[in-house]
Structure 1
Amino acid sequence: MINDIDRREFLRSGASLLGLGLAAPALAVTEPYPRIGGPRLRLGLAAYSFRNYFKTMRGKPNAKVPADQQIEMTDFIRFCAEHDCGGAELTSYFFDDNVSDAYLAECRKLAHVTGIQISGTAVGNNFSWPKDAPERAEQMAYVKDWIDKASILGAPHIRVFAGTHPKGVGED
């Protein structure tokens, strides 16, 4: 068999690996940098994780959720605070299509007073339409609108999606 090795080769390989393992600390270029303060990594939660509970899905009422189990974005922010999450990603498609600036400001204030950092937002868009398609222009306007909304929320970044490839449209 091609993978068979004899005892001498096995011992030689084992000794080489042992020697390399023992020499590894001596091969280190520098000592690790000393840390000032504690780690800054914080646990965050994406609203998408609760997609089966939001009363709104992509701007429309979410009929799949029983009325007594429905939540809004403010409920999600409170949940994050109650469970010691450091941050929350507020996904756009769990807000009403006509969400008011006042409600976005309320979410921002609630996050602040409960100690939740809004880590960002995600916009459910589709940029895969051809350049001259009206759907693509609609998607561009939608994302531009959410840039303004993210600013009101105080979101430091926005995730956008390339989208799904529409049927009948070439890849170029």
Structure 2
Amino acid sequence: MTDDGEIPRRGRDETADERADRRWGELLQELRVAQTGVQILFGFLLTVVFQPRFTTLSDIDRNIYLATVLLGAAATGALIGPVSFHRMVAGRRLKPETVVWASRLTIAGLVLLLCTMASSLLLILRVVLHDSLAVWLVAGMVLWFGLCWFVLPLWTRSRQPAEGTPEG
């Protein structure tokens, strides 16, 4: 509280449209990073089947590969989805709704990317190590990604008032 009894304002003094424009710009920057990563990973995954060693993989490893490619395709779709969503509704004064749906698609895309990376690691480590150590290493990496991508941001978010509340 200030000396005159008012609660100090946190955050920005912006309209709902200005907030939506700002949040859309921020989301686009985030998507540029995620889209690039998933597209490079997916591109490499598509080439694996054409390598001579692919025919020597066990049925389990081929199934892991198949799941990995499908997860990579789904992650690519979800992370590129916000661009299509925006284009389809542009000019209809739906920016706040677009930001909400694009954010949801981005979170779904990140979860799918995590699954893609986990299954990619599992396939690679099974080929390299030939033992159950691969599963433990992948589990450790999934925990690490989960901590970095989801737990820390959600923990930080839980400690701050939400945007638009009297405190924030």
Pairwise same-fold verdict (TM > 0.5): no
Q: What is the TM-score when the length of structure 2 is the normalising length?
A: 0.26
More strand by share: 1
More helix by share: 2
Q: What is the TM-score when the length of structure 1 is the normalising length?
A: 0.25
